[in-house]
Amino acid sequence: MLRLIRLLRILRIALRFGLDEFALATPATSGLARVINAALFWRDLSDPRAVRLRRALETLGPIFVKFGQVLSTRRDLLPPDIADELAKLQDQVPPFPGESAVAQIERAFGRPLAQVYASFDMQPVASASVAQVHFATLPDGRPVAVKILRPNILPVVQRDLALLDSAALLIERVFADGPRLKPREVVGEFGKHLYDELDLMREAANCSQLRRNFAGSPLLGVPEVYWDWCAPTVMTMQRMHGTPISQLQRLVELGVDIPRLARAGVEIFFTQVFRDGFFHADMHPGNIFITPEGKYLALDFGIMGTLTDADKNYLAQNFLAFFQRDYKRVAQAHMDAGWVPPGTRVDEFEAAIRSVCEPVFDRPISEISFGRFLLRLFQASRRFNVEIQPQLVMLQKTLLNIEGLGRQLYPQLDLWETAKPFLERWMKEQVGLRGFMRNLKNEAPQWATLAPQMPRLLHQALQRDPVEPVRDRLERLLAEQKHQTRLLVLLVLLIAALAAVQLFAFWR
């Protein structure tokens, strides 16, 4: 019942701001549009359509604001007026009163504001969908930025997620492609990250981890977290100084090398994904500043993506094969990962991938639309019943954000040539001698722990086996003992051969 009420409220807000104009803009529906306008004569549609769309998303709440933020980076898919207006959702969401921010701080730390900060600016410097930021000064004089969660936001998020889950369930049951697309898992993944955003202690930990990953990096700066001034609803961090990446003309005036900046952005993205498996998953322009020296400054760490080693290897194999136009290898990687049903013909899958990928090569980013590229890729995957992987949804969203930033910064950027050397170097480190020695070093503690336990574990396993009596098993093991030395020698030879292959691959 509550979901139905929320759905009706969404419909009412959409009609109030005249969003039916977007759905009824064709000649075939012009008659229906006139009827609706006559019936809803009381609504004010004097503002431009883009302004009404932004205001509707702000009224609907944080999830819809997030949706608008993602759309704002897709200038190749949106008319300029809508893209410009939705860009205001990145850091110009209407703020909540400063008095409410003070109340949140005093509630979080259990003492008056004057005992927490030496000074506190009541006027926020940025306001986003789930929190806003104020400048302040610590008792020791250090300037800081204080992020404060919006009051009473949790019930709103819970209602909207419940509505999205209902819509996903409907898609899963009604549409033929529903089960393959796993919409409820995708909504669950989005909800998990959104709930993470509502815990600023978790965001502070994300910030601290990213700062550690890029310690000493000339490409990316991350603020320091001041833990004694952090709580689930309040996060205090180092104040950073830079120019928003969206202010391109200002960056040019400061002498920033824009092509170099664009290439550095690609390297930062691939470093986060493939080296660390931990990446900033909300890279819209409102979250990125640039120093006069051309160094990126990351802000807002509420949504971070993570990848397992298996995910990283799968992605690297696909990216590298894609850059080399080895579509058979791309198809085989999907087959090996189990994402394509057994019995699928590799040659047919390869041909489908080639038809999608080949047209985008040798083109600058200004002539490539990842939105359309992904759409065609999804159409091909639908034909072969490829399973959608929910854990990669955040990466796809981030890739679209990167494309949006790339278009704004330097449309002539050759994304493929910029990324290919990095991926080749990463793959060499993974499969070469360095990767072999690193994996050996990582596994050594596990081997050292398990080796002394082997007799006990073997004894327990034999006791649990109801099929073969323990004595018979032991007698068989003793009978095979004479072969152990031979097997050990073979194992040593095998390891030596593998090391030789790795060394050859490394030096080649």
Q: Are 422 and 491 members of one domain?
A: no
C-alpha 355: how far from chain center: 27
Each residue's pLDDT tens digit, 94-152:
889 999 999 999 999 999 999 999 999 999 998 877 899 999 999 999 999 999 999 88
Whether 280 maps to a domain, the answer reads yes
Q: Are 364 and 485 members of one domain?
A: no
Whether 382 maps to a domain, the answer reads yes
Q: Are 176 and 301 members of one domain?
A: no
- Model pLDDT, residue 503: 45
Host H or E run for residue 331: helix 327-337
Residue 410's pLDDT band, with cuts at 50, 70 and 90, is: confident
Selecting among 282, 326, 347, 465, the annotated active-site residue is 282
Overall average pLDDT of the 419-448 stretch: 66
Pick the last residue of a domain from 63, 84, 109: 63
Each residue's pLDDT tens digit, 236-258:
999 999 999 988 899 999 999 99
Q: Are 44 and 177 members of one domain?
A: no
| Long-range contacts, 491-496 (Cβ 8 Å, 24+) | none
Catalytic annotation present for 282: yes
Place of tokens 């697309």: 181
Q: Are 416 and 496 members of one domain?
A: no
Overall average pLDDT of the 186-214 stretch: 86
Q: Is the pLDDT of residue 179 over 50?
A: yes
The Cβ of residue 18 has, within 10 Å, a number of other Cβ atoms equal to 21
The answer to whether 220 touches 252, Cβ cutoff 8 Å, is no
Q: Is the pLDDT of residue 24 over 60?
A: yes
Whether 205 maps to a domain, the answer reads no
Q: Are 53 and 180 members of one domain?
A: no
Q: Are 337 and 398 members of one domain?
A: yes
Q: Is the pLDDT of residue 64 over 70?
A: yes
Look up the domain containing 496 and give its range: 454-507
Whether 442 maps to a domain, the answer reads no
Q: Are 314 and 379 members of one domain?
A: yes
Say which range, 176-190, 291-305, 394-408, has the weakest mean pLDDT: 176-190
Q: Is the pLDDT of residue 33 over 60?
A: yes
Whether 270 maps to a domain, the answer reads yes
Each residue's pLDDT tens digit, 268-308:
988 898 888 898 887 777 789 999 999 999 988 988 888 88
How does strand 234-238 pair with strand 288-290? unpaired
- Model pLDDT, residue 102: 96
The set of residues, in sequence order, having a beta carbon less than 8 Å from that of 334 and lying 6+ positions away, is: 340, 349, 386
- State the total domains in the chain: 4
Whether 401 maps to a domain, the answer reads yes
Each residue's pLDDT tens digit, 446-466:
666 666 766 776 667 666 655
Q: Are 305 and 386 members of one domain?
A: yes
What's the rounded Cα separation, in Å, for the pair 344 and 332? 10
Q: Are 316 and 417 members of one domain?
A: yes
* Percentage above 90 pLDDT, the chain: 23
The answer to whether 208 touches 215, Cβ cutoff 8 Å, is no
Whether 98 maps to a domain, the answer reads no
Q: Are 183 and 258 members of one domain?
A: no
Q: Are 491 and 356 members of one domain?
A: no
What's the rounded Cα separation, in Å, for the pair 366 and 411? 5
CA nearest to 203, candidates 231, 166, 181, 238: 231
Whether 388 maps to a domain, the answer reads yes
What's the rounded Cα separation, in Å, for the pair 314 and 40? 53
